[in-house]
Amino acid sequence: MTDILGAADYLRSVTSDFKPEVAIILGTGLGDFADNIEVHTSIEYKDIPNMPVSTVEGHKGRLIFGHIAGRRVVAMQGRFHYYEGYTMRQVTFPVRVLSLLGIKYLFVSNAAGGINTSFRVGDLMIITDHINLLPNPLIGPNMAEFGPRFPDMHDCYSSAVRAKATAIAERENIKLQYGVYVGTTGPTFETQAEYRYFKAIGGDAVGMSTVPEVIVARHMGVPTFGVSVVTNCGLSDEKGDHEDVQNQGRKAGIRLAKLFIELIKELE
Q: What CATH number is attached to the domain comprising 153?
A: 3.40.50.1580
Report the distance separating Cα 259 and Cα 44, nearest Å: 26
pLDDT over 60 at 31, yes or no: yes
Name the nearest CA neighbour of 254 among 175, 166, 167: 175
Q: Return the DSSP state at 240.
A: P
Phi and psi dihedrals of 46, rounded to 5?
A: -65, -20
CB 101 within 8 A of CB 40: no
The model's pTM is 0.92
Over the stretch 69-105, which tens digit does the pLDDT of each residue have?
A: 999 999 999 899 999 999 999 999 999 999 999 999 9
Q: How far is residue 157's CA from residue 107's CA, in Å, rounded to a whole number? A: 10
Number of folded domains that form the chain: 1
For residue 164, the enclosing domain spans 2-266
* pLDDT of amino acid 78: 87
Instruction: Note the pLDDT of residue 99.
Output: 97
Instruction: Kindly state the percentage of the chain with pLDDT values over 90.
Output: 80
State yes or no: pLDDT of 123 exceeds 70. Answer: yes
Confidence at residue 29, expressed as pLDDT on a 0 to 100 scale: 61
Burial of 55 (0-12, 13-18, 19+ CB in 10 A): middle
